Amino acid sequence: MADIDVAKLRAEYQGPHELVSTSDGKTLFVRRWDASKASPVSVLLLHGITGHSGPYGPIVADQLAESGYNVFGLDLRGHGLSDGRRGDYPSKERFADDLKEAVEHVRSKSDKLVIMGHSLGVLAAVVSVKNQPQSADGVVLVSAARRMRTGVFPRPRTGAMVKALMGVAFFPGTPLIDYRREGQVGLDDPLFNFRYSARFYSVLYGAGALKVMQMFSSGNIESPNLDFGGKLLAPLFVAVGDADELFPADAVKEFCDGIDSDDKEFHVIAGARHAVWPRGSFTPLVQWLEKRF
């Protein structure tokens, strides 16, 4: 990624999109899928680790747009076509501010806003809603839980552990920690990231990088960024694929049950993996949106 000119690629991008100028002078890229008809409801999509907004078109955004909902996909700082050091996040405060500024931008174009997170994007969605509880008229959380399948991540080799420990101790902002698991997608996409800094993990998970490594090793995700910090006032939709390689459906159901909300639905989607979803998988989400909005 280091030799890719993100600003140039962003300038050359011809599809519908928005640019958010952050309060620290960076540019965040927001891909757009316009509804097939005028709609007061928008969905802000927050992507998973390694990825960016682009691949979510065929997964979910196309179906939502065809069903009459505007979809905006934020590339997190350091991902996709957004500015920032690849695979790093400068601070938890900057993370919160980026989300706040992106939400305000999309909110200004929408009567109602649904915030949707997938995988690591669930952490971003929870942080966003926790910091701006009035910003979301609905919340959608897909493919995340507090418990992972066993053996998802292989035990790191000694060299990888040493490199990670050096990153934590001496180079917290340098992307030194490889992200590898079975079934990864995006290996042929130059905008994907597969190496992260210790600081990135600390910021996104709200815990020290060594603690995050222990989470991955144990399969127990003890992240404070999965906690809304009180009752969720907006309607909630939670889903997972029945073939998800990372999170079993019962763990996602436990996560959903643990969220304090008077209005929530949970769905298991047949034939869907963690990042591979058959066309039409999000029909239950479309039906939920129609019922709520």
Domain ranges of the chain: 6-151+224-292
Q: 156-179: buried (b, 16+ CB within 10 Å) or exposed (e) per residue?
A: beeeeeebbbebbeeebbbbbbeb
Provide the β-strand partners of residue 165: none
**What is the predicted pLDDT for the residue at 158?**
52
**What is the predicted pLDDT for the residue at 46?**
98
Looking at domain 6-151+224-292, its CATH architecture is 3-Layer(aba) Sandwich (3.40)
**What is the predicted pLDDT for the residue at 164?**
59
**What is the predicted pLDDT for the residue at 1?**
43
How far is the CA of 220 from the CAs of 144, 217, 266, in angstroms? 12, 8, 21
DSSP per-residue letters across 23-73: TTS-EEEEEEE--SS--SEEEEEE--TT--STTHIIIIIHHHHHTT-EEEE
| Averaged pLDDT score across all residues of the chain | 92
**What is the predicted pLDDT for the residue at 229?**
94
**What is the predicted pLDDT for the residue at 276?**
94
**What is the predicted pLDDT for the residue at 207?**
87
Residue numbers in the chain where pLDDT is lower than 50: 1
**What is the predicted pLDDT for the residue at 141?**
98
Nearest to 87 by CA among 213, 165, 203: 203
Residue 104 is encoded by which pair of tokens?
A: 């305000």
**What is the predicted pLDDT for the residue at 160?**
56
> What is residue 238's DSSP assignment?
E
